[in-house]
């Protein structure tokens, strides 16, 4: 008989969604560990690995059919800027979460 603790596999998408909920303040570290059956060290690893990841939909990559063809390059740059801002925002949330965890805030 194996002495390893058996727990369900947590998919990439579930880990990303969980980190997103945690960084957005929708849940706590304790709730995540209890719900997912992971340790705080495992959760820290998820946060390190997935802090820059996010869920996406195919609609984000589609150019509206009604968009003037001359504006399509501008549309692409706008999407890139949105992604950059979203990434930086998530990084700031992660830093705040880590600072709170270390009693710095």
Q: What average pLDDT does this structure show over 17-40?
A: 89
Residue 49 lies in a domain: yes
Answer whether 87's CB lies under 8 Å from 52's CB: yes
Two tokens, residue 52: 């820059």
pLDDT at residue 3 greater than cutoff 60? no
pLDDT at residue 13 greater than cutoff 60? yes
Answer whether 54's CB lies under 8 Å from 16's CB: yes
Q: What average pLDDT does this structure show over 15-25?
A: 86
Number of domains in the chain: 1
Q: How confident is the model at residue 5 (pLDDT cuts 50, 70, 90)?
A: low
Residue 7 lies in a domain: no
101 or 6: which leads in pLDDT: 101
Q: Which residue from 10, 25, 100, 15 is spatially nearest to 52, judged by alpha carbons?
A: 15
Range of the domain at 24: 12-101
Return contacts of 86-90, CB within 8 angstroms, 24+ apart.
86/54, 87/52, 90/20, 90/23, 90/51, 90/52, 90/54
Residue 37 lies in a domain: yes
Residue 4 lies in a domain: no
Share of the chain above pLDDT 70, in %: 91
pTM > 0.85: yes or no? no
């Amino acid at each position: 008989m194996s002495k390893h603790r058996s727990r369900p596999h947590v998919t990439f998408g579930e880990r990303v969604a969980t980190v997103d909920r945690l960084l957005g303040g929708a849940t706590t570290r304790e709730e995540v560990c209890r719900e997912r059956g992971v340790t705080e060290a495992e959760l820290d690893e998820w946060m390190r690995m997935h802090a820059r990841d996010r869920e996406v939909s195919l609609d984000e990559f589609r150019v509206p059919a009604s968009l003037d063809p001359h504006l399509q390059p501008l549309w692409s740059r706008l999407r890139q800027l949105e992604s950059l801002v979203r990434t930086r925002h998530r990084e700031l949330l992660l830093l705040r979460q880590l600072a709170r965890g270390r009693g710095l805030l």
